[in-house]
Amino acid sequence: MTTHKRITARKKLAMINTVVFSTVLAVFGILFFVIPKNEVSDFEKRKLSPFPQFTMQEFLHGNYIDSIDLYFSDNFPLRDQLVELSFDMKDWRGMKNEEIAFYNASEIQKTPVQDPTKPADTIGDTAVADTVPTGPPGEEVNNLFIYEGRAMEIFGGNCKMAESYARTINKYQTELKGKVQIYDIAVPSSIEFNAPPQYAKQYSTEKKNIDCVYGALDPAIKAVDAHGSIGAHRKEYVFFKTDHHWTGLGAYYAYTAFCSSAGLTPVPLSSMEKKTKPGYLGSLYWLTRDSRLKENADTVEYWKIPGKYTTTAYHKGSETKGFKSSIYAEGASGANGYGVFLGGDYPLVKIESEVKNGRKVILVKNSYGNPFATYLPSHFESVYVVDYRYYGGSLLDLIEKEKITDLIFLNGVFSINTSWHISMVGKVMRGVGKKSQTTTTLDTTKPKKDSILDKKKDSATSK
């Protein structure tokens, strides 16, 4: 009797198992074809894989099919939730050290096409794993170090690179001697001041590197001691915990250092209007999805300078036709929190003030320069903020045309020590877009930003 009971129970169990399993498979499968697809993943800051176009050659190489696989996984139903679960699972694998964690760059940024463990790779048919380049030069993720809820990129620059950066700036001095005053601002990063004492010797090496830059600069160029002025306030909120940028406050201290080099009196913080945006999770959180960072969300603080300004931003390829913009994109939210400064990375932003002193400045920068730029309009008739990565025009032309008096180069130490950035800073002197479009790599490295700008009017993109 009991045996009989057991047999029927097993059979019933088998039926339930089969039905549940097939239903789950079928439901996800059908959902995939039914649900609307997103074009863009905001967290990942990339376009999701579209359905590939068929070409015979791609098909025969297997690339077409690989692209379909990518399309499928990028657009899978509940993908965001499943990704979240996979990061939770990472937490469940063990006990997190609440104090310290390391991330290898290779762990964080995966190559999308590569499946390192296709069965044939390891068993029987040993094939060479195909490696896909991670991305454009100069935009690699660095190794990360998390200490007490603060993520820091591990700095690995060297003096040679730093000097090569300085020589690039020197070329501008040669070109503009006597016409324009040039400033260079080399900005340290979080790890310089926040590495725990036992690691400081190993990780806090940016001062030395910045000295290499400044030592190799033409003496006529004014080297701004941002390191000193930020370092003096290291205990304040000068770097984000979850983002690779400095904060508005960090940029403010660099601005005060700049003022003393440029013979200006900085506007005191107290005479500006302070605004805050809490709950900001920055790039380093989205790279790692580390729960220790999530618990330490940042607050974006910005200070609005007094006065009235007209701001115009220009899209790539239309440097003559600007549109009305603002120094502060107050609607910036979510993963775009840092976009509050200037609204993100436009090739060119022009800010005109009511100041009348005959001084006009160009700030050559990447996203690090955005909060810094917001303080400048108090001291100049016009401020031109040029993102050397995207600007297609020629700086020399712009300087000539607008009668520029001051030229600032501002870069973080990571960019200073990356050859791609150095070469872009050099190329913008005469303009890359004008000369030729031969450098196809450049075009692919430049985000085509219009699509997202159209969607989110004021938050725009941030680095």
Q: Pick out residues in 95-134 that bind other proteins (CB under 8 A).
A: 95-97, 100-102, 104, 106-112, 115-120, 122-127
Q: Look at the alpha carbons of 445, 210, 207, 407 in this order and tell me if their dihedral is positive or negative.
A: negative
CB 416 within 8 A of CB 186: yes
| Residue closer to other proteins, measured from CB, 172 or 286 | 286
Helices (H), 330-459: 369-373, 395-402, 413-416, 419-427, 432-435, 440-445, 450-455
The minimum distance between CB 169 and other proteins, in angstroms, equals 23
The minimum distance between CB 131 and other proteins, in angstroms, equals 10
Work out the angle at residue 367's Cα, subtended by the Cα atoms of residues 203 and 384, and round it to the nearest 5 degrees.
135
Q: Is 35 in the site for other proteins (CB under 8 A)?
A: no
- The residue type found at 320 is T
Q: Which residues contact 390 (CB under 8 A, 6 or more apart)?
A: 316, 345, 346, 347, 446, 447
Q: Is 379 in the site for other proteins (CB under 8 A)?
A: no
Q: Is 38 in the site for other proteins (CB under 8 A)?
A: no
Q: Which residues contact 324 (CB under 8 A, 6 or more apart)?
A: 311, 312
Q: How far is CA 423 from CA 97, 168, 436, in A?
A: 40, 8, 16
| Sole binder of other proteins in the list 52, 135, 137, 266 (CB under 8 A) | 135
Q: Is 14 in the site for other proteins (CB under 8 A)?
A: yes
Q: Is 18 in the site for other proteins (CB under 8 A)?
A: yes
Q: Is 11 in the site for other proteins (CB under 8 A)?
A: yes
| Sole binder of other proteins in the list 37, 38, 46, 317 (CB under 8 A) | 46
For other proteins, what does the binding mask look like between residues 234 and 263, x meaning CB under 8 A?
A: ----------x-------------------
Of 166-174, 285-293, 319-327, 419-427, the window that binds other proteins (rule: CB under 8 A) is 285-293
Q: Is 152 in the site for other proteins (CB under 8 A)?
A: no
The minimum distance between CB 165 and other proteins, in angstroms, equals 19
| Sole binder of other proteins in the list 52, 69, 264, 352 (CB under 8 A) | 69
Question: Phi/psi zone of residue 451: left (φ > 0), alpha (ψ -120 to 50 degrees), beta?
Answer: alpha
| Residue closer to other proteins, measured from CB, 60 or 321 | 60
| Sole binder of other proteins in the list 51, 54, 55, 62 (CB under 8 A) | 62
**Residue ranges with strand state E in 281-333:** 298-304, 310-314, 323-325
Of 232-240, 257-265, 435-443, 446-454, the window that binds other proteins (rule: CB under 8 A) is 446-454
| Residue closer to other proteins, measured from CB, 109 or 260 | 109
Total site size for other proteins, rule CB under 8 A: 94
The minimum distance between CB 124 and other proteins, in angstroms, equals 4
The minimum distance between CB 392 and other proteins, in angstroms, equals 17
Report the C-alpha gap between 48 and 33 in whole angstroms: 16
Q: Is 5 in the site for other proteins (CB under 8 A)?
A: yes
CB 437 within 8 A of CB 443: yes
Q: Is 34 in the site for other proteins (CB under 8 A)?
A: no
Question: Residue 360 half-sphere exposure, CB side, CA atoms within 13 Å?
Answer: 14
| Sole binder of other proteins in the list 86, 265, 271, 441 (CB under 8 A) | 86
| Residue closer to other proteins, measured from CB, 126 or 438 | 126
| Residue closer to other proteins, measured from CB, 90 or 167 | 90
Buried residues in 449-463 as b, exposed as e (16+ CB within 10 A): beebbeebebbbbbb
| Residue closer to other proteins, measured from CB, 151 or 348 | 151
Task: Write down how long the chain is.
Answer: 463
Write out the binding residues for other proteins, residues 158-197 only, by CB under 8 A.
none
- The residue type found at 61 is H
| Sole binder of other proteins in the list 52, 70, 275, 291 (CB under 8 A) | 70
Q: Which residues contact 17 (CB under 8 A, 6 or more apart)?
A: none
Report the C-alpha gap between 267 and 120 in whole angstroms: 65
